[in-house]
Chain A
């Protein structure tokens, strides 16, 4: 980030705001040309953005996980044919065309990465966070996953093996975290509220909820 050339090839101050305004200008110029040529419909861009800001996100995945915890038949379907099981809840489409669900157990913790680009299950988790797409995570998740987990404040219990899934093809992985103890009898909605995005990537664990008084 420091010391780079701007997009026009000129040196500029090394601060992120300037870099951002370079990109702001660059993207605006591109959108302008494309719209002038009739190649894009700016209103279509608005719908795309609105979809990923308001309709598609980790609540979708949390619903899938909560259903799997609540319904053993669904959990078995999710294990055998995640694409169909997830579609039955209404979550389909771009970057979720070929889904696989991987289940954490007391012996194995699953962690998902894409070392080659930024493959991520958009249909159930929404757009990926910046760290998922950045070199630090992509480089280290496969060689030092425990070190990476520590940076998320996560320490796996003694004796737990770690399995890293590198999304090198078009399969998209959803981690099904273990159901926290103390949630017996909870509704699917309450269960879903416990499920975090990171727990479905494998960089988070779920804990026993606070006992309400």
Chain B
């Protein structure tokens, strides 16, 4: 979807503000937000792709004025309701009122080190050989799905070079919507700055994305 999250090339946000000796967290609620988000992710009820799509669906004015942990919490509230774990009135009240869905697992303190160390690998085998090889010229599709995609707007309908075949991975555009993992080959595709940004582009700039095979057409 063309949501507020798809920021590449947008303007008007001002200078980057690096912080000297930045702390890991700026308030205690950020610590809890990280912990709650990861602990609820461990239910196994939704995928990282569904989670990202929930964040992208936050209204633009809210998304752009929120810190990232706030974005996480707003999306998590949506996911918890969508999957029946918590009701809206319970979130508003901060009180449990009725039993909800039961998760496949509840993360306990003892489980945390192993769960974090394992992470969530998303490489999956694909039967077919890759359609493109390193060195191939490709054009990215020009599409505007209202659903989840990982092809940024600035890189749609652009011609670039396949630099590497990176392996085969879960396809987020389907997986975000419960349509299965449907893995595809992923390629690093590199574009010249002027191909993307046109007149006045930095001539010494190249930009790469990691693109699923169905994002690409041969040139």
User: Which residues of chain A have a CB within 8 Å of any CB of chain B?
Assistant: 1, 4, 20, 23-24, 26-34, 36-41, 43-49, 51-53, 92-98, 100, 115-118, 123, 126-127, 129-131, 133-146, 148, 151-152, 160-171, 198, 203
30 A-B residue pairs with CB within 8 Å = A4-B62, A23-B27, A24-B28, A29-B93, A34-B86, A40-B107, A41-B39, A41-B106, A48-B34, A52-B24, A53-B31, A94-B118, A95-B119, A97-B119, A98-B121, A127-B24, A127-B34, A130-B22, A131-B17, A134-B13, A135-B64, A138-B8, A139-B7, A143-B9, A151-B16, A162-B205, A163-B206, A163-B207, A169-B166, A170-B122
Measured between beta carbons, the chain A residues less than 8 angstroms from B77 are: 30
Contact A33 B19 (CB under 8 A): no
Cα distance A116–B90 in the bound complex, in angstroms: 31
Interface residues on B, range: 35 or more
14 A-B pairs besides A43-B109, A142-B207, A171-B186 with CB distance below 8 A are A44-B107, A94-B38, A94-B120, A126-B24, A130-B67, A136-B14, A138-B7, A139-B8, A161-B205, A163-B205, A163-B207, A165-B208, A169-B169, A169-B212
Measured CB to CB, the closest approach of chain B to A147, in angstroms, equals 9
Residues of the B chain whose Cβ atoms lie less than 8 Å from the Cβ of A129: 18-19, 22
Minimal beta-carbon separation of A120 from chain B (angstroms): 11
B34 to A40, Cβ gap below 8 A?
A: no
CA–CA, A198 to B106, complex, Å?
36
With A23-B27, A145-B205 known as contacts, the answer to whether A51 contacts B68 (CB < 8 A) is: no
CB-nearest residue of chain A to B26 = A130
Q: By the criterion CB–CB under 8 Å, are A162 and B202 in contact?
A: yes
Taken residue by residue from 98 to 128, chain B's Cβ proximity to chain A (1 for < 8 Å, 0 otherwise) reads as: 0110010011110111001111111100000
Say yes or no: B106 contacts A115, CB within 8 Å. no
Q: Which residues of A contact B209 (CB under 8 A)?
A: 166, 168
Q: Provided the pairs A93-B117, A166-B209, A169-B210 are in contact, do residues A41 and B109 lie with their beta carbons within 8 angstroms? A: yes
Given contacts A51-B113, A136-B15, A162-B205, contact A168 B150 (CB under 8 A): yes
B150 is contacted by which of A130, A144, A169 (Cβ under 8 Å)? A169
Q: A30 near B91 (CB under 8 angstroms)?
A: yes
B interface, by DSSP: helix, strand, loop or mixed?
mixed
What's the Cα separation between A100 and B167 when bound, in Å?
12
Measured between beta carbons, the chain B residues less than 8 angstroms from A168 are 150-152, 209-211
B25-47 interface with A by 8 A CB criterion: 25-29, 31-36, 38-40, 43
Query: Contact between B8 and A142 (Cβ–Cβ < 8 Å)?
Result: yes
Distance in angstroms from A85 CB to nearest chain B CB is 16
Cβ–Cβ contact B123 & A166, under 8 A = no
B27 and A20 form a contact (CB under 8 A): yes
CA distance A44 to B119 in the complex (A): 16
- The reply to whether A40 and B39 form a contact with Cβ atoms under 8 Å apart is yes
B36 adjacent to A31 (CB under 8 Å)? yes
Q: Given the complex, which residues of B lie within 8 Å of A116, measured CB to CB?
A: 5-8, 52, 150, 152
Judged by a CB distance under 8 angstroms, whether B55 is at the interface is yes
With contacts A96-B119, A143-B197 taken as known, whether A136 is within 8 angstroms of B13 at the C-beta atoms is yes
Query: Considering the chains assembled together, what is the distance between the CA atoms of A134 and B68 in angstroms?
Result: 7
Smallest Cβ-Cβ distance to A127: which chain B residue: B24
Tell me the minimal C-beta distance from B144 to chain A in angstroms: 15
B94 close to chain A: CB less than 8 A = yes
Q: A28-B29, A117-B5, A138-B7 are in contact. Are A166 and B152 (CB under 8 A)?
A: yes
The 4 closest A-B pairs by CB, nearest first: A45-B35, A29-B94, A169-B210, A115-B8
Given contacts A23-B29, A115-B8, A142-B9, contact A33 B34 (CB under 8 A): no
How far does the alpha carbon of A64 sit from the alpha carbon of B111 in the complex, in Å? 27
Residue of B nearest to A45 (CB): B35
Q: Out of B31, B34, B86, B186, which one reaches A37, CB within 8 Å?
A: B86
The answer on a CB contact under 8 Å between B8 and A166 is: yes
